[in-house]
Chain A
Amino acid sequence: MTLSSSTLLTSAAEGGHHSVPVVEAMSPDGVFSLLWLVIALPLAGAVVLLVGGRLTDRWGHWLGTATVTGSFVLSVVMFVQLLGRDDAERQIGQHLWDWFAVGDFQVGMDLLYDPLSALFLLLITGVSALIHLYSVGYMEHDPRRRRFFGYLNLFVAAMLMLVLAADYVGVFLGWEGVGLASYLLIGFWQHKPSAAAAAKKAFVINRVGDIGMSLAIMLMFVTFGTTAFAGVSAAAGDATESTMTAIGLLLLLGACGKSAQVPLQAWLLDAMEGPTPVSALIHAATMVTAGVYLVTRSNFVFENAPVAQTAVVVVACVTLLWGAVIGCAKDDIKKVLAGSTMSQIGYMMLAAGLGPAGYAFAIFHLVTHGFFKANMFLGAGSVMHGTGDDVNMRHYGALRKAMPVTFLTFAMGYLAIIGFPGFSGFWSKDKIIEAAVAENYLVGAAALLGAGVTAFYMTRLMLMTFFTKERWEPEVHPHESPKVMTVPLVVLAALSVLGGVLLLGDWVTTWLTPVVGEVEHHELPVPVIVLTGIVVVVVALGVGLAVLLVGRREVPREAPQDVSFVTRAARSDLYGDAINDGLVVRPGGVLVRGLVATDARGVDGVVEGGAGLVGALSSVLRRTQNGYVRTYALSVLGGAVILVLAMVAVTW
């Protein structure tokens, strides 16, 4: 890709009915020339920590935290610089080197810094820095803490590569790097077979999504001859709709894998086997948001592929309810949060699938979700830290007195996620529901229902953990976590509360306009204030139901077994594993066994049978070598006679 220094920001309207912004970046100057450093810092940290080995054991965790913090500082400086520029000058590209060139196809190691990646940079580096700080305390007693920080740094570097690349191949590099790092981190406690299996599962399911992603990139190359954002966005309107639909659906498959959307959702709940900071990192700020980023970034693809957009919306609706239902029945505090992550990512995908009406709100919700979900995951980690690594909420109860800081910060995250008026989640989720209702009543109803269910399961989690009666074992003495863990909690709680200010004066939508186009305002059937009222009422119903069903009753220490079908289904992840097993794993096993049998009996049979036949024939022919001279003489005579006869026959 060649970066033009032109500052034009044109809109390509040909072909599609929407005007889609074209990516056309200007060359970096000033602080922006340090863009590469944002990725290089954590990458260097990872290399030093992983190559340096035990030498770095004593200070490695601080180095890891410092590199990410450095990236954060750089991100903030660049963000401020970007704020001071005109809309038209807010796309900055940095060409590092030519990555590879095959014939006319050229891929450069290019970075793109625009309003979208600027927001992502702030979120990723900011939340990651806090999670690194928290991990210093959380992993204090782990002998492999240095390696943990190496992996964390690698993860952050890969994620930054993903959001900064200006080329789909570059995105793919980060995409795979994130997959690798998540594998290493989920399986960090590899001595546990369950953790090793969960890591493998995440990796394999992600691979399915990656196939979609790589096929989409290849299709782009075939169609446009380039994979750079600039080239694809400029030419997207000229391609046929069926091609764009295929690219869109393949990108969606990739997004489903990384963002744990149905049908590739099964890995997310198992991924809770990793240490809690990993859960916070993967499931709040970074990895699972990659799918939403991809869909939003590829708006020029989806705008020209309405079918693919509809598919995004359908997948998102199914996932947001799927995750919410799972969250209702789980007793493992991290799995409830994982279910809720699935559900919230579903909201973002839903918004992203709505087109220009929703892109900005998808990113807005992504940012607020990054704050409050990281807050709650780290809070859950703090609870586990204080109760001897117990994750079962039935063994908690009344922890608000023992862990006041954790409780208060968690409560902020809780109020944000259920959408309590004024908190960040309220603003972001409300906007998505608004856009969904305006688009389609059914989609709107799903989003609304999801909000109610979210309120139910989050209230259940709050009540079982911090309220109700004490249910912990006598030898467990819940205690507040050290400062190094509570400080990030406080910061994240504050952000959870205040995240909504991004929407002040429609700042976030204006900010993202250069990337995703103008927000389209659809007519709502009812005034906005009424819809907001309905959402609040639904949320209140969910909370009330949870208070009635959980808060007012005795919570048994053991999970009751005589429960309804729905509860049983939700406890087993709505049979996600069973579906995968039945649809893919077992038929795959049968197929492989059949192939092995065909190979062993068919192919090997032909080869070995042929060899056997030749052997048997040889042992018969062998008998003619009997050692008697006259036998040989006779065969010589026979040969001579035949020769003579042949000559006679020829001459006559």
Chain B
Amino acid sequence: MDDVTPFLVLSAILFSIGCVGVLTRRNAIVVFMCVELMLNASNLALVAFAKHHGNLEGQVAAFFVMVVAAAEVVVGLAIIMTIFRSRRSASVDDASLLKY
């Protein structure tokens, strides 16, 4: 049983940074990168727990997250590109037409 606390602390720090970034930044690319940061923070936590428990389930879950993240990146970047083309802006606050 290795002590995985530092990994978990790092994971928490990374997740928090990503979280704050998503909530505060306006540039869509940066928000997107922050989302990736959060995903990878959770990947880190999963791998750490896998190590802690001595089985592979956490690693498998981490692979799943990566695959999903890759797919999401494809779609997300495509959306950001389209919005940028039509609006000449990558600010997430500008794209706020869908509201009350």
Is A634 within 8 A of B23, CB to CB? yes
User: B residues within 8 A CB of A633?
Assistant: 22-23
Is A626 within 8 A of B24, CB to CB? no
A633 and B92 CA atoms in complex are apart in Å by 12
Question: Does A596 sit within 8 A of B, measured CB to CB?
Answer: no
A398 and B100 CA atoms in complex are apart in Å by 93
Is B23 within 8 A of A630, CB to CB? yes
User: A residues within 8 A CB of B93?
Assistant: 628, 630
- Give the dominant DSSP class at B's interface: loop
Name the residue among A622, A633, A634 with the largest chain B CB count within 10 angstroms: A633
User: A residues within 8 A CB of B74?
Assistant: none
A634 and B24 CA atoms in complex are apart in Å by 10
A622 and B99 CA atoms in complex are apart in Å by 9
Report, as a range, how many residues of chain A touch the other chain. Answer: 10 to 19
Interface residues of B in 41-100 (CB under 8 A from A): 92-93, 95-100
Is B99 within 8 A of A629, CB to CB? no
Is A626 within 8 A of B22, CB to CB? no
Question: Does B19 sit within 8 A of A, measured CB to CB?
Answer: yes
- B-contact bits for A621-638, CB 8 A (1 contact / 0 none): 011011111100110010
CB distance from A632 to the nearest CB of B (A): 10
A625 and B99 CA atoms in complex are apart in Å by 5
Residue A625 contacts which of B22, B24, B92, B100 (CB distance < 8 angstroms)? B100
Residue A627 contacts which of B19, B23, B31, B97 (CB distance < 8 angstroms)? B97
A533 and B45 CA atoms in complex are apart in Å by 127
A630 and B97 CA atoms in complex are apart in Å by 14
User: A residues within 8 A CB of B98?
Assistant: 627
Is B96 within 8 A of A626, CB to CB? yes
User: B residues within 8 A CB of A637?
Assistant: 19, 23
Residue A629 contacts which of B19, B31, B100 (CB distance < 8 angstroms)? B31
A633 and B95 CA atoms in complex are apart in Å by 15
Is A626 within 8 A of B19, CB to CB? no
Is A623 within 8 A of B100, CB to CB? yes
A168 and B65 CA atoms in complex are apart in Å by 86
User: B residues within 8 A CB of A630?
Assistant: 22-24, 92-93
Contacts A/B (CB < 8 Å), 9 sampled = A622-B100, A623-B100, A626-B96, A626-B100, A627-B95, A627-B96, A629-B96, A630-B23, A630-B93
* Interface residues, chain A, with chain B CB atoms under 8 Å away: 622-623, 625-630, 633-634, 637
* Interface residues, chain B, with chain A CB atoms under 8 Å away: 19, 22-24, 31, 92-93, 95-100
A-B residue pairs, 10 tightest by C-beta: A627-B99, A627-B96, A622-B100, A629-B92, A625-B100, A630-B23, A626-B99, A633-B22, A628-B96, A625-B99
